[in-house]
Amino acid sequence: MTCVLAADIGTSGCKLALVDPYGRVTAKTAVRYEVIRPNSICAEQNPHTWWEAFKEGLSRLIASKGSDEIVAVGISGQSPVILPVDSRGYVLHNALLWMDRRAVSQAKKLAEIFGIREDPSNALAKILWFRDEMPHLFAKTYKFLQASDYIAFRLTGTFVTDKFTAMTAFFNPHEWKWPKEVEDMGIMEKLPEVVEPGSPIGHVSRSASKEIGLREDTIVTAGSIDAYLAVLGSGAIKPGSACDISGTSTCLMITSSKPVHDPKERVFCTPHFLNDLFIVSGVLSTTGASISWFLEEFGREEMLKASEIGEDPFNLLISRASKVPQGAEGLIFLPYLAGERSPIWDPFAKGAIIGLTLKHGKGHVVRAILEGCAFGLRHVLEIAEELGANVKEIRTCGGASKSDLLCQIKANVIGKPILTLREPDTSLIGAAILAFIGSGIYKKVLEAIDSIVKVKKVFIPEEESRRVYDHLFRLYKRSYDVLKEILHSL
pLDDT in tens, 11-60: 999 999 999 999 999 999 999 999 999 998 999 999 999 999 999 999 99
The mean of the pLDDT values for the chain is 96
* Pairing mode, strands 241-246 and 268-271: unpaired
Close Cβ partners of 92 (under 8 Å, ≥ 6 residues apart): 83, 84, 85, 86, 137, 140, 141
CATH homologous superfamily for the domain 3-222: ATPase, nucleotide binding domain (3.30.420.40)
Strand partners, 419: 395, 458
What's the pLDDT band for 243 if we cut at 50, 70, 90? very high
Determine the 3-state secondary structure of 351 from DSSP: coil
Residue 441 has pLDDT above 90, yes or no: yes
The answer to whether domain 235-425+452-490 has CATH 3.30.420.40 is yes
3-state helix, strand, coil in the chain (%, to 5): 40, 20, 35
Q: What is the pLDDT of residues 385-438, one digit of tens each?
A: 999 999 999 999 988 899 999 999 999 999 999 999 999 999 999 999 999 999
What's the pLDDT band for 190 if we cut at 50, 70, 90? very high
Predicted confidence at residue 247, as pLDDT, reads 83
Predicted confidence at residue 248, as pLDDT, reads 85
Q: b or e along 50-88 (b: 16 or more beta carbons within 10 Å of the residue's beta carbon)?
A: bbebbbebbebbbeeeebeebbbbbbbbbbbbbbbbeee
Segment 307-334 mean pLDDT: 95
Predicted confidence at residue 117, as pLDDT, reads 86
Q: 3-222 and 235-425+452-490: same fold?
A: yes
Predicted confidence at residue 347, as pLDDT, reads 87
Determine the 3-state secondary structure of 227 from DSSP: helix
Residue 356 has pLDDT above 90, yes or no: yes
- Give the rounded percent of residues in the chain with a pLDDT score beyond 90: 96
> Can you say whether the dihedral through the CA atoms of 377, 383, 384, 385 is positive or negative?
positive
Record the pTM: 0.91
Segment 366-389 mean pLDDT: 98
Q: What is the pLDDT of residues 100-155, one digit of tens each?
A: 999 999 999 999 999 988 889 999 999 999 999 999 999 999 999 999 999 999 99
DSSP state of 189: G
Predicted confidence at residue 156, as pLDDT, reads 98
Distances in Å between the Cα of 290 and the Cα atoms of 184, 295, 437, 489 are: 40, 9, 36, 21
What's the pLDDT band for 1 if we cut at 50, 70, 90? confident
Give the start-end residues of each E strand in 102-167. Answer: 143-145, 160-162
- How is the chain split into domains, by residue range? 3-222, 235-425+452-490
Close Cβ partners of 347 (under 8 Å, ≥ 6 residues apart): 41, 101, 104, 118, 119, 120, 121, 339, 340
Rounded to 5 degrees, what angle do the CA atoms 433, 252, 292 make? 95
Cα first-last separation, the chain: 58
Other beta carbons within 10 Å of 475: 15
Predicted confidence at residue 399, as pLDDT, reads 85
Segment 357-384 mean pLDDT: 98
**In which element (H, E) is residue 303 found?**
helix 300-309
Q: Evaluate whether 333 touches 294 at the Cβ level (below 8 Å).
A: no
Predicted confidence at residue 198, as pLDDT, reads 95
* Cα dihedral value 99, 102, 108, 111, nearest 10: -30
Close Cβ partners of 474 (under 8 Å, ≥ 6 residues apart): none
